[in-house]
Structure 1
Amino acid sequence: MNKRTWVYDPHSGGVKIPEAVRERTRDRILAHAHKHYAGKYTRIDVRFRGQLCYIDAYKEPFVAPDFDPSPLGVSREEYIERQRNFPIHLVRLRYFGKEDRWSMAFYTYSHEKYEPSFFDNGTFEGTPEEAFDTGAVYLDD
């Protein structure tokens, strides 16, 4: 007999994030980034959609002095401005109804998608600040 069994999956489902939680979470992430990673980014973008929270960073781009962007059809200044406005995806959080109970998916540039991930505490659940610390690997030079 084939019985269906419910299995907890920290990377599916979740609860729509209430506006008050969105505001507090955004404030927590920005305060944590400012305190621990100041100078490694020009701005942090925290976006919400349904039960998900996306964290992106922007950095001042390094462009070699001899780099010629003319084959791309843009001037050097246009190329630099485009790079300044290109987001660096860090992590995606999934909300489960408690402000310190989120799951995390780390953005992998090798696959160009968010991949389910453990927190540094060894579990599938953690805080937004812990998730930011994981994604901050992309802020290193």
Structure 2
Amino acid sequence: MNSKKVWMHAPDAGGIKIPPLVRSRTTERITQYAEAHYGGQFLRLDIRYRGVFCYIDAYVEPPEPSSGLLNATGETREEFMDRLRKTPIHLCRLRYFGDEEAWGLAFYTYSNERYELCMYRSGGFWGPVEEAFDIGAMYLNAD
């Protein structure tokens, strides 16, 4: 009988702490891809790491508020615009398993205010950071 242990991982559990060199390469890949494909749709990106996770947020130029909205918030136009410019849009969270081409993906759901497991367009649970950005970037196109 073969007692070889088979290691398996689930897309929504576990992972490997992201090494500094992988963090650096990943940040560069995401930034270059975002600029090339979504340039002008965001003011800046915030790519941060915590343990096994890479979080991608974007900051955008908010639309002009109506006078009714300003009355409801009790803010001036400048206060409103400043607050929204400082509010991140959570695009996605990546989970690292040791392969820079096969990340787990969680999509931020604003209805539940949490990250939820998400499949890539290929139908699988593993994929590259560029495709993950595409999925999260739907929030950049939302009006």
The normalised TM-score by structure 2 is 0.89
Alpha-carbon distance between aligned partners in 1 of 2:59 and 2:68, rounded to the nearest angstrom: 21
Q: Match of 1:14?
A: 15
Question: Where does 1:1-141 land on structure 2 (aligned, <5 Å)?
Answer: 8-140=9-141, 141=143
Alpha-carbon distance between aligned partners in 2 of 1:35 and 1:99, rounded to the nearest angstrom: 20
Q: Which runs of 5+ in 2 are unaligned?
A: 1-6
Alpha-carbon distance between aligned partners in 1 of 2:71 and 2:127, rounded to the nearest angstrom: 46
Aligned length, in residue pairs: 136
Q: Which runs of 5+ in 1 are unaligned?
A: 1-5
Alpha-carbon distance between aligned partners in 2 of 1:67 and 1:84, rounded to the nearest angstrom: 20
SS for the counterpart of 1:106 is strand
| Greater fraction of residues in strand | 1
Cα distance, 1:71 vs. partner?
4.8
Compute the RMSD of aligned alpha carbons.
1.5
Amino acid across the alignment from 2:93: R
Alpha-carbon distance between aligned partners in 2 of 1:7 and 1:128, rounded to the nearest angstrom: 21
Deviations 1:43-93 (A, max 9, x none): 111010000000001110012342453553432211110001100000000
SS for the counterpart of 1:121 is coil
Alpha-carbon distance between aligned partners in 1 of 2:72 and 2:139, rounded to the nearest angstrom: 28
Deviations 1:105-128 (A, max 9, x none): 000111111000001111000011
Alpha-carbon distance between aligned partners in 2 of 1:114 and 1:64, rounded to the nearest angstrom: 29
The normalised TM-score by structure 1 is 0.90
Moved more, 116-125 or 60-69: 60-69
Q: Match of 1:3?
A: none
SS for the counterpart of 2:98 is strand
